[in-house]
Amino acid sequence: MALLQISEPGMSAEPHQHKLAIGIDLGTTNSLVATVRSGMSTVLQDPHGHALLPSVVRYMQDDQIIVGHQAESKQNEDPINTIASVKRFMGRSLKDITNRAHIPYRFVSNNESEGVSQGMLQLETRAGLKSPVEISAEILKTLKLRAEKVLGGELTGAVITVPAYFDDAQRQATKDAAQLAGLHVLRLLNEPTAAAVAYGLDNASEGVYVIYDLGGGTFDVSILHLSKGIFEVLATNGDSALGGDDFDHRIYCWILDQILESNQTKHLLNEEDTRLLLTKARQVKEWLTDNYEAQITCKLSNGYAVDVTLSTDEFIELTQNLVNKTLSPMRKAMRDASLDLEDIKGVVMVGGATRMPHVRHAVQEFFEQEPLTNLDPDKVVALGAAIQANVLAGNRSDEDLLLLDVTPLSLGLETMGGLVEKVVPRNSTLPVARAQDFTTFKDGQTAMSIHVLQGERDLVSACRSLAQFELCGIPAMTAGAARIRVTFQVDADGLLSVTAREETKGIEANITVKPSYGLSDDEITNMLKSSFGSAETDKQARALVEAKVDAMSLVSAINIALEQDGHLLSTEEKGPINSAITRLEDLLNNEDNHAIHDATEALNTATEQFAAKRMDVSVSRALAGKNINEVNL
């Protein structure tokens, strides 16, 4: 995907300088930013000493946008323009949101891409239509600003966490939001894996651990094998639409029932009432963690005074089936990892919703051991993300931390009869690539439609559609003679790209899966333009600066590589690289960003063989190092 590259000026920092890298936990209810300072992962606070930023965005009358506590406090007054829990809408269409009637927003379906009835939904606010990506970007911008202020410099990049069970559309939406916020995304990291990093490194843990992560809107369970700094995910499962919000919602519905019972006239709630009762419900849930009973009193817009009391027993009865909904993913993950209960060394609780006693109790009963709750379930994900960001930015020279994560959902292609043929099974270690061959079924067939799906079910209709594309220009042959090889590549962010190739004639089609739920490149470009609000000349100047920064950092990286491993190349092989460097350096005095861009690409191409040789050498070095250790043992 040819998105605008937003290079941070910080990217051109000297190689040995400490780079400012952050980890962001973009949560349903709260978001956090953390960084590693003097070897310690720390959550960064705002000037008022708050670590948690409520994930609430308010669009004001004067075009201002307010994020966090201040927005949260206005939720009841201005619910339509004050968006909370936007994470639940990321990469989702209108039909995915089942309980819309009880959410106080004005949803709009986004049908502009023709033929696709399932574009990502939008919300109507006084500032116009806002997509979940734009709203999330406001939260990310706020955290970025906080980090820049506290750290006092430009950021090299950020690791953004996502629920492990997020599908491709939700991951892509998150990455788009980060880009829109002007962040350089080092990696999308799964939340339970981030928690495992923070927990595992702190406790020097070895063995198999389960991370039970019940957040505001999502549930993940990941099983990891921890050994000598390598965090290997064995299996992951979850429900990307189950979290603390649903518990609030059950209480909310219960309050409504009480109102109806005590008062025969039907109360029509307006948006303010809905938001007020949802807020009350959340307070009740939190109160019941340490108390047996909660009283709910408030006044509705029509003057009706609510006064009801909910006991812990009633609360458990209302929500036990939500807790039970987390059991099936746990069983599946255990089965996928081929593990028995006695193999599990510890169960780590993550996410604010795991504070509820009956959740802890259910987990304890399932794993037959007391879960570990000795870390702040709200902060551990951000702390882990910061540790990973620090490693990725290259601040740690000792390469002793490695995360091997998996793809949560199977990927497949539609075949005859509306069935899905699995190509990449769930829980495959990333990065992963798989190829599948297809053929034509009619004489002279020149095009083929390819439909990519994600999910575990056999029927197309029961899986999530990621992308549909036409492979055109297949040479006309008799039925069954063409050989079309479709390759799926899932990268370390868990994002999919698909390549299709006709093998007999070598016709290639390259597709990065941009799901029907995602934003088009044009949309992102437009959003970026409007957010910069800059004139055409500014854009030109910016593009030129970016091209130069890219070029200089490439030249410096290649010069370092040549210093280290130049001996791998013969003089003849070095020639083209050196001349490509000279050409690029000459252009740097120039003002032509396209020429600089092209020369940068040319230099990249000239170093492909060198990169391959260096990779082979570093792999053999890695193995040789191991052999020496074995001898020493």
Among 70, 301, 526, 618, binds another protein (CB under 8 A): 618
Tokens of 2: 């040819």
Catalytic residue from among 8, 25, 78, 167: 25
Active site residue 87: yes
| Piece of 80-88, 369-377, 389-397, 469-477 that binds another protein (CB under 8 A) | 389-397
Q: If you ran DSSP here, which 8-state letter would residue 372 be given?
A: B
* Residue 376 engages another protein in binding (rule: CB under 8 A): no
* Residue 621 engages another protein in binding (rule: CB under 8 A): yes
Closest to 526 in 3D by CA, of 247, 131, 195 = 131
Among 9, 128, 394, 566, binds another protein (CB under 8 A): 394
| Piece of 54-62, 132-140, 265-273, 624-632 that binds another protein (CB under 8 A) | 624-632
Using omega within 30 degrees of 0 as the cis cutoff, is the peptide bond preceding 431 cis?
A: yes
Tokens of 485: 């090889």
Cα(508)–Cα(140) distance, rounded to whole angstroms?
A: 38
Among 335, 361, 505, 594, binds another protein (CB under 8 A): 335
Least Cβ distance, residue 610 to another protein (angstroms): 8
* Residue 116 engages another protein in binding (rule: CB under 8 A): no
Q: If you ran DSSP here, which 8-state letter would residue 499 be given?
A: E
* Residue 343 engages another protein in binding (rule: CB under 8 A): no
Catalytic residue from among 87, 175, 379, 514: 87
CB nearer to another protein: give 119 or 200. 200
| Piece of 62-70, 83-91, 514-522, 607-615 that binds another protein (CB under 8 A) | 607-615
* Residue 340 engages another protein in binding (rule: CB under 8 A): no
* Residue 73 engages another protein in binding (rule: CB under 8 A): no
Closest to 434 in 3D by CA, of 489, 484, 381 = 489
115: left (phi over 0), alpha (psi -120 to 50) or beta: left
Size of the site for another protein (CB under 8 A): 48
Helix pair 571-587, 593-606: axis angle to 10 deg: 170
Active site residue 213: yes
Q: Residue 155: beta bridge partners?
A: none
Task: Supply the DSSP string of 559-585, one letter for each residue.
Answer: HHHHHHHGGGS-HHHHHHHHHHHHHHH
Query: Cβ(54)–Cβ(167) under 8 Å?
Result: no
On the CB side of 263, CA atoms within 13 Å amount to 16
Among 489, 499, 531, 534, binds another protein (CB under 8 A): 489
Least Cβ distance, residue 627 to another protein (angstroms): 8
Q: Helices then strands (H, E): number in the chain?
A: 15, 27
* Residue 171 engages another protein in binding (rule: CB under 8 A): no
* Residue 393 engages another protein in binding (rule: CB under 8 A): yes
Q: How many Å is the Cα radius of gyration of the chain?
A: 26
* Residue 154 engages another protein in binding (rule: CB under 8 A): no
Catalytic residue from among 72, 78, 138, 191: 191
* Residue 230 engages another protein in binding (rule: CB under 8 A): yes
Pairing of strands 484-490, 432-438: antiparallel
CB nearer to another protein: give 394 or 480. 394
SS (H, E, C) 470-482: EECCCCCCCCCCC
Among 84, 90, 403, 562, binds another protein (CB under 8 A): 403
Least Cβ distance, residue 227 to another protein (angstroms): 8
Catalytic residue from among 213, 220, 378, 523: 213
* Residue 341 engages another protein in binding (rule: CB under 8 A): no
Cα(70)–Cα(295) distance, rounded to whole angstroms?
A: 26
Query: Cβ(28)–Cβ(84) under 8 Å?
Result: no
Residue in the structure block whose two tokens are 């795991």? 354
Site for another protein in 541-560 (CB under 8 A): 554, 557-558
* Residue 332 engages another protein in binding (rule: CB under 8 A): yes
49, 51, 57, 58: CA torsion to nearest 10 = -20
Q: What is the largest CA-CA distance in the chain?
A: 91
Site for another protein in 557-586 (CB under 8 A): 557-558, 561
Least Cβ distance, residue 334 to another protein (angstroms): 11
* Residue 604 engages another protein in binding (rule: CB under 8 A): yes
Q: Is 263 helix (H, G, I), strand (E, B) or coil?
A: coil
Backbone angles phi, psi at 403, to 5 degrees: -110, 120
Cα(622)–Cα(137) distance, rounded to whole angstroms?
A: 40
Among 108, 316, 433, 568, binds another protein (CB under 8 A): 433
Least Cβ distance, residue 399 to another protein (angstroms): 6
- Residues tagged active-site: 25, 87, 191, 213
Name the site residues for another protein (rule: CB under 8 A): 11, 157, 186-187, 230, 328, 331-332, 335, 388, 391-394, 399, 402-404, 428-433, 489, 491-492, 554, 557-558, 561, 604-605, 607-608, 610-612, 614-615, 618-619, 621-623, 625-627
